[in-house]
Structure 1
Amino acid sequence: MKYTVHDQVILSRAPEGPLAGYLASFANAISAQGYSAKSMKQQVRIAACFSRWLKQKGVSVQDISFDHAIRYLRYRARHVRPYLGDRAALSHLIDFMRSEGVIPVEKTATRRVPPAEICAQAYAEYLRDAQALATATVINYVPFVRDFLHHCFGNGTANLSRLRAVDVVGFVQLHAPRLHLRRAKLMTTALRSFLRYVRYRGDVTLDLAAAVPVVANWSMPSIPRAISAEQTRHLLASIDRRTSVGLRDYAILLLLARLGLRSGEVAFLELDDIDWRAGQVSVRGKSGQRSELPLPADVGKAIAAYLRHGRPHSTSRRVFLRARAPIAGFRGQSGIGSLVRHSLQRAGIDAPTMGAHQFRHGLATQMLSHGASLSEIGEVLGHRDPQTTKIYSKVDIKALRTLALPWPGGVR
């Protein structure tokens, strides 16, 4: 006798075991996350088989753990033809049961955290909470600080009051030659930030930040690699807007090209950030501060088309959602970068880079060629430091030519 669990899932017999009463709710949860009917059927069926196995083993619902799922997968591999998604399906099931409060969260074995790691974590919290720095900045700074503390104290007590200038200089001299110039400069910036932090806390009295050596570098060594206006037009024209994914990708690429947003700013954009009446979009920049930018008509039209005809049904407040289950917002800026890379490859465009940042450089270059000042460009791109925008002065070749003195005797 067949048993209906969900309108799209029918089992060959009634479910048994400790999970039998939760299969319908599990199916609804999978459906809400955007999984296909085929995937939902496979996940519910293996959940039913797992529940039957648990009954045979005498395992009650409150005792279920992921270790039981591993043991069942081994059993299944010996007696049943396994499927590629079996492990993921059982992982989804365990997570669902925990979220419902049916299965308790497993306690992980506590391990001794080295003092240097505790200090590095406290510094990371300071950067996030007190300094409101972007997550990417914290991720870049903390590993250098962790290495510095391990260099000075190993796994022992991190007695910061014992730090001296020779420790700072020795660490930089040891690691800087092994790093690319940009990474070396990032390392010294992170060290200065950390040493100012420990002085602020009172752990050290000396201004050790001043002891961090300066990494030699030429001012503005390279011209920003910007995608050209023609390449951008070609890329946008190549997007198939007849599909939901195409509507999404087109809107994202327009945001990058027209507003020069960072990939993370696009990934974390929320529905409430768009003021349709005022024609504005609120963007959270690297420092955590918001800036209001005008929403060009073509960008607004592209976003509206995606929201109406391409965006999957979801409770998420993110503007742009993943196309594959589980349906949710992008996890971070890497998702936008991957979208840009694949779009460029499909269009056969030999762009300066494969990343999203070239659109910011492209916008700045176009603004400069149309007479915009560096301060105006910095305001649009959300630069806090004018020196960041100054690098674009190198690409204004036409303006630089007007400053050149004529060759004595005229042109020959």
Structure 2
Amino acid sequence: MNVGSGSGGYVANGESTVDGGSTGGGEDAARGGNMAGGGRVVGGEGVASGGRAGNGGEDAARGGRVGSGGGTADGRRVGSGGGTADGRRVVGGERTGSGGSPEVGREEVVAEFGRYLRFERDLSPHTVRAYLGDVNALLDHLDGRLEGLDIATLREWLAEQHGAGKARATLARRTACARTFTAYCHRRGWLPVDPGLLLGSAKAPRPLPAVLDQRQAEAVLEVGSTGEPKELRDQALLELLYATGVRVSELCALDVDDVDRERHIVRVLGKGRKERSVPFGLPALRALDRWCIHGRPLWVKAGSGPALFLGVRGGRIDAGTVRRVVHARLAQVEGAPDMGPHGLRHTAATHLLEGGADLRSVQEVLGHASLNTTQIYTHVSIERLRAAYRQAHPRA
């Protein structure tokens, strides 16, 4: 029998050991078989950095510390040196519960999920806030622990929301958030399975949006101005909202150089950081010129930057200010429904379709990812056509 050993290691069945490791059953203990104090290995599993092993690679000390690459209590390999007890698995140095999911704290879960939404999914700040609020509500239902998160718990949580009178749109968003959250936790190893895969979708109702008719839209935009900076700004943003149908967040983010005066196009950064170019007409261009020449220079401050629309203190305008401007202007028009900036977006899309624009072009103007989202405006136009028919046709 040819035997090679280091430091007096014991050898069985012709295999060699290093630094006192011993083997039985024909396994090689040279890799990962170094034993502290010459411990014996039976059954062929190797233990690194001084762990004691016996009986097929199991930790004979039940919960003794195992170094990098050592064995665990059930013979599985452990990375990054976590300690085990009672046969629980260790991943990356984290101790896991008997169900196989790591014992992570609530704050860590919420913080990591928030970073995932911001930097990997690239969701808007508003969506991130809404999703994190939903996750905190779910964790409150679970008493802050992930161990009990399964499909029954998810359905129970959503049923409570429904019983509390939450709107269908809210339930649909929370269902989507729950699926995203459980999928993320499963990928991170915090959940052994993804219960969100079994969760059905709660469809939100799609009521027809209120819109202005063309006469009301003209009345909103033809209010006289005295030339004050605020009035020039308000007129310019109203004209641009109606001309382009941009979202209020997109309007607030516009810079001066986003407006191409020669081509009558504004460059917009929409949802998901998708950029699009939207045309606008001469009334909007004239209103923008009056604001940029006669109004904006009077409000510019050192910290204004390139923002197209400014607040009275010189900073970039915010969505709340735009909403107040729209509501105040609509209140001056008799018979006009009370709506915010999104109502002008609905109005612009409806008037485009009524004027003969095809649905695909309206989708591009609005920046919708799916044509299904744009199709709601066809229903608006049909309803308005039906109402006009009932009013005008003698045999309606």
1:150 aligns with 2:140: yes
1:261 aligns with 2:246: yes
Amino acid in structure 2 at the alignment position of 1:335: T
Residue-by-residue CA offset, 1:358-410 (whole Å, 9 max, x unaligned): 11111111111122222221111110122211212212328987xxxxxxxxx
Matches within 5 A, 1:193-342: 193-215=180-202, 220=206, 222-311=207-296, 312-315=299-302, 316=304, 317-323=306-312, 325=313, 327-330=314-317, 332-342=318-328
1:163 aligns with 2:149: yes
Distance change >3 Å, CA 301–CA 400, structure 1 → 2: closer
Name the residue aligned to 1:174: 160
Q: Is there any run of 5+ residues in structure 2 with no aligned partner, and where?
A: 1-103, 387-394
Alpha-carbon separation, structure 2, partners of 1:199 and 1:226: 44
Residue-by-residue CA offset, 1:222-246 (whole Å, 9 max, x unaligned): 2121122211211111142521111
Alpha-carbon separation, structure 1, partners of 2:266 and 2:188: 38
Name the residue aligned to 2:16: none
- Which portions of structure 1, spanning 4 or more consecutive aligned residues, are displaced by more than 6 angstroms? 398-401
Name the residue aligned to 1:125: 115
C-alpha displacement of 1:214: 3.4
Contact map agreement 2:142 2:148 (CA 8 A) in 1: no
Alpha-carbon separation, structure 1, partners of 2:106 and 2:334: 47
Bigger fraction of residues in helix: 1
- Higher relative contact order, chain-length normalized (CA < 8 Å, sep 6+): 1
Amino acid in structure 2 at the alignment position of 1:180: A
Contact map agreement 1:169 1:213 (CA 8 A) in 2: no
Alpha-carbon separation, structure 1, partners of 2:384 and 2:324: 36
1:186 aligns with 2:176: no
Q: For 2:301, what is the secondary structure of its paired residue?
A: coil
Which of 100, 117, 127 is the matching residue for 1:137? Answer: 127
1:116 aligns with 2:102: no
C-alpha displacement of 1:200: 3.2
Q: For 1:132, what is the secondary structure of its paired residue?
A: coil
Greater CA drift, 238-247 or 206-215: 206-215
Q: For 1:310, what is the secondary structure of its paired residue?
A: helix
Distance change >3 Å, CA 350–CA 120, structure 1 → 2: farther
Name the residue aligned to 1:95: none
Contact map agreement 1:239 1:246 (CA 8 A) in 2: no
Name the residue aligned to 2:87: none
Q: Is there any run of 5+ residues in structure 1 with no aligned partner, and where?
A: 1-113, 402-410
Q: For 1:358, what is the secondary structure of its paired residue?
A: helix
Contact map agreement 1:256 1:356 (CA 8 A) in 2: yes
Contact map agreement 1:352 1:358 (CA 8 A) in 2: no
Contact map agreement 1:263 1:336 (CA 8 A) in 2: yes
Matches within 5 A, 1:338-357: 338-345=324-331, 347-357=332-342
Distance change >3 Å, CA 278–CA 201, structure 1 → 2: farther
Alpha-carbon separation, structure 2, partners of 1:386 and 1:200: 31
Percent identical residues:
28
C-alpha displacement of 1:190: 1.6
Amino acid in structure 1 at the alignment position of 2:328: H
Q: For 1:238, what is the secondary structure of its paired residue?
A: coil
Amino acid in structure 1 at the alignment position of 2:126: A
Amino acid in structure 2 at the alignment position of 1:368: L
C-alpha displacement of 1:172: 0.9
Name the residue aligned to 2:30: none
Contact map agreement 1:169 1:211 (CA 8 A) in 2: no
Contact map agreement 2:330 2:338 (CA 8 A) in 1: no
Alpha-carbon separation, structure 2, partners of 1:141 and 1:193: 9
Residue-by-residue CA offset, 1:114-143 (whole Å, 9 max, x unaligned): 942442232222212111111221122221
Greater CA drift, 189-198 or 260-269: 189-198
Greater CA drift, 118-127 or 175-184: 118-127
C-alpha displacement of 1:252: 0.2
C-alpha displacement of 1:198: 2.1
Distance change >3 Å, CA 129–CA 395, structure 1 → 2: same
Alpha-carbon separation, structure 2, partners of 1:396 and 1:343: 24
Alpha-carbon separation, structure 2, partners of 1:271 and 1:396: 34
How does the TM-score come out when normalised to structure 2?
A: 0.65
Alpha-carbon separation, structure 2, partners of 1:384 and 1:321: 30
Q: For 1:396, what is the secondary structure of its paired residue?
A: helix
Residue-by-residue CA offset, 1:12-49 (whole Å, 9 max, x unaligned): xxxxxxxxxxxxxxxxxxxxxxxxxxxxxxxxxxxxxx
Amino acid in structure 1 at the alignment position of 2:197: A
For the pair shown, the structure with the greater C-alpha radius of gyration is 2
Q: For 2:169, what is the secondary structure of its paired residue?
A: helix
